[in-house]
């Protein structure tokens, strides 16, 4: 645009000086060109609130010509760092463009271990033709199978050599995996009490406040929707594990696994009372202290009061 105006001004100067070669504009042509250029410039700036569309389109075209950054031109460490932020689907798409980079074993190993933290096959010598990309597909398939039928899912993992037929290995796999359906997992653990025992021992409740430890426990092992034998089993196992992780605290407070069991039940009932919209008359702190100390007489009033405050401020222990 500026160059066109410069040519118009130059032609006018040359005509004033007497030049009339065919390559230059006449005075009338110069006038029309200048008027047309000003009109075009004014129109561009009036569109979209004064934004110069011409320059926007020109800048966009230049960006389109540049295209995407070619990861193969970057240092390998930087390329792998960029690709490590992709999920499995996007990494498969990236392999269509950067096959050597996106199919790297380290990237797929990171995806496997970030989703399934423990598998028996991680600690074994890889078989011939092993690849972490193939393992990811098998783990994803096995998880989907587990979420439909837990027993078939575990059998699938064992048939592929991913898991050993051991309650401890299965418990570690469940503890380090977040893709399993919690309802199906609850059914499976109710049937496999040997796996449940090993799963409970994987929790470390050392130096944790009782309601917080109970929340963490029910975050991994979901509580049943109704009271029953399975809930009693879970609370019993938690109480023994909590005492085993905090022997000094138990001696200081004079608590036993049976006393912790009573406190856990009291916390669950208090959680329901304070969070349920159907309960209009909420339990007061004084009532909770009185009821709890009536069931477990050796517990101090201050300790029970702190339990109430935790539920009141943070919320349900089994949500």
Identify the CATH assignment for 203-314 out of 1.10.10.60, 3.40.50.720, 1.10.1000.11, 3.30.200.20: 1.10.1000.11
- DSSP-derived secondary structure letter, 5: H
Closest by CA to 233, choosing from 201, 268, 197, 198, is: 197
Inform me whether the pLDDT recorded for 293 exceeds 80.
yes
| 53 band by pLDDT with thresholds 50, 70 and 90 | low
Domain with CATH 1.10.1000.11 in the chain: 203-314
| 120 band by pLDDT with thresholds 50, 70 and 90 | very high
- DSSP-derived secondary structure letter, 119: -
Torsional class of 47: left (φ above 0), alpha (ψ -120 to 50), beta (otherwise)? beta
- DSSP-derived secondary structure letter, 185: H
Quick check: pTM over 0.75?
no
Q: What local confidence, expressed as pLDDT, does residue 68 receive?
A: 63
Contacts of 166 (CB under 8 A, 6+ apart): 120
């Amino acid at each position: 645009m500026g160059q066109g105006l410069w040519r118009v001004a130059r032609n006018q100067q040359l005509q004033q000086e007497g030049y009339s070669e065919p390559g230059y504009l006449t005075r009338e042509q110069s006038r029309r060109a200048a008027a047309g250029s000003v009109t075009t410039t004014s129109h561009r700036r009036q569109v979209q609130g004064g934004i110069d569309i011409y320059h926007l389109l020109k800048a966009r075209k230049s960006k389109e010509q540049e295209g995407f950054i070619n990861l193969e031109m970057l240092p390998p460490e930087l390329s792998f760092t960029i690709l490590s932020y992709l999920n499995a689907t996007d990494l498969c798409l990236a392999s269509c463009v950067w096959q050597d980079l996106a199919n790297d074993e380290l990237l797929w190993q990171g995806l496997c271990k970030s989703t399934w933290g423990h598998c028996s096959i991680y600690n074994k010598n890889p078989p011939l033709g092993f690849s972490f990309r193939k393992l990811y597909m098998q783990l994803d398939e096995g998880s989907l199978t587990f979420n439909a039928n837990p027993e078939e899912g575990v059998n699938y993992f064992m048939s592929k050599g991913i898991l050993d037929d051991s309650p401890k290995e299965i418990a570690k796999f469940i503890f380090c995996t977040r893709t399993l359906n919690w309802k199906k997992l609850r059914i499976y653990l109710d049937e496999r009490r040997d796996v449940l025992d090993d799963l409970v021992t994987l929790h470390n409740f050392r130096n944790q406040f009782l309601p917080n430890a109970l929340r963490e426990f029910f975050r991994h092992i979901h509580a049943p929707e109704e009271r029953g034998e399975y809930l009693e089993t879970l609370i019993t196992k938690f109480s023994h594990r909590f005492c085993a992780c905090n022997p000094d605290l138990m001696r200081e407070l004079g608590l036993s696994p049976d006393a912790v069991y009573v406190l856990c039940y009291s916390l669950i009932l208090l959680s329901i009372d304070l969070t349920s919209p159907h309960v209009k008359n909420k339990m007061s702190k004084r009532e909770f202290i009185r009821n709890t100390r009536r069931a477990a007489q050796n517990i101090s009033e201050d300790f029970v009061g702190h339990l109430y405050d935790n539920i009141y401020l943070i919320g349900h222990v089994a949500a």
